[in-house]
Amino acid sequence: MANERLRYRMSALYVTVFAHLLVVSITTLVLFWLIKLREGFALKSDIKMKIFNLHPLLTILGFIVFSGEAILTYKAIPASRPVLKLIHFIFHLIALTTGILGVYAVFKFHNEVAIAHMYTLHSWIGLSTICLFALQLLIGLVTFVYPGAESATRARFAPWHVFFGVVIFYMAIVTVETGLSENFIFKKLQHGQEALMVNFIGLLILLFGVAVGLTSVLSLRRK
């Protein structure tokens, strides 16, 4: 039994390291894409694409990178439960704040170039994701972080918190993947360096989702 737990612990460690390498790769490629192959990014600019570029930057950082890190740290870091809860909550709070700024940027871009809002599947799934994310964070704060919550209530809600957390994280991945695909439709990407970059970012995000899910499974088996 001890050897089996050690084997799962080592497997989870390898997957977690791989996941963090993916985080570095995704962040680097997104920055390279938006800075070198696009116009860069700014909240206020005469070049409107700079405003739009904040949307993929902040939503990927928020709902993929920081949200994924929130799950990874809670499952993989050997720390006390109160410390893990605090880290988990802080990462999710950063993710929500960053994601909201990203959504604000795309609405600002649409207003300034007179484009209609919320007319694609990407936008529908994205808005649903951010609303569920905020609700999940609020309920988690009241249930697990607030010291007055009863232990029985926490125990009953814990499986649902985990379930909806995983669902929302993968909804975020679907949102980002559909958003990246829209670049080929609305931004008319050609078969070149930028198209390859966007596709590669999408594949790395998918791998990151797999790594986060596998880390969660291995962390359960090693207990």
CA 75 to chain centre: 16
Query: What's the structural domain count of the chain?
Result: 1
- % of the chain residues with pLDDT over 90: 64
Number of H helices, E strands in the chain: 7, 0
| pLDDT grade for 4, boundaries at 50, 70 and 90 | low
Question: Which range is most confident: 131-135, 149-153, 159-163?
Answer: 131-135
Query: Is pTM beyond 0.85 here?
Result: yes
Smallest Cα–Cα separation from 87: which of 103, 65, 72?
Answer: 72
| pLDDT grade for 42, boundaries at 50, 70 and 90 | very high
Which helix (H) or strand (E) segment holds residue 23: the answer is: helix 2-32
Q: What is the spatial distance between Cα 25 and Cα 204, in angstroms, rounded to a whole number?
A: 8
What per-residue confidence (pLDDT) applies to 53?
A: 95
Other beta carbons within 10 Å of 167: 13
87 is in which domain, residue-wise? 2-221
> Contact, 186 vs 168, CB < 8 A?
no
Burial class (CB in 10 A: 0-12, 13-18, 19+), 55: buried
Q: What is the spatial distance between Cα 119 and Cα 125, in angstroms, rounded to a whole number?
A: 11
Q: What is the spatial distance between Cα 41 and Cα 55, in angstroms, rounded to a whole number?
A: 9
What is the overall mean pLDDT for the chain?
Answer: 89
Over residues 48-107, the pLDDT tens digits come to 999 999 999 999 999 999 999 999 988 877 778 888 888 999 999 999 999 999 999 999
Measured over the CA atoms of residue 74, residue 79, residue 81 and residue 85, the dihedral's sign is negative
> How many CA atoms lie within 13 Å of 3's alpha carbon, on the beta-carbon side?
0
| pLDDT grade for 146, boundaries at 50, 70 and 90 | confident
Least confident of 42-56, 123-137, 140-154: 140-154
Domain with 60 in it: what CATH number? 1.20.120.1770
> Contact, 4 vs 189, CB < 8 A?
no
| pLDDT grade for 153, boundaries at 50, 70 and 90 | confident
- The one-letter code for the residue type at 133 is F
> Contact, 198 vs 166, CB < 8 A?
no
What per-residue confidence (pLDDT) applies to 81?
A: 81
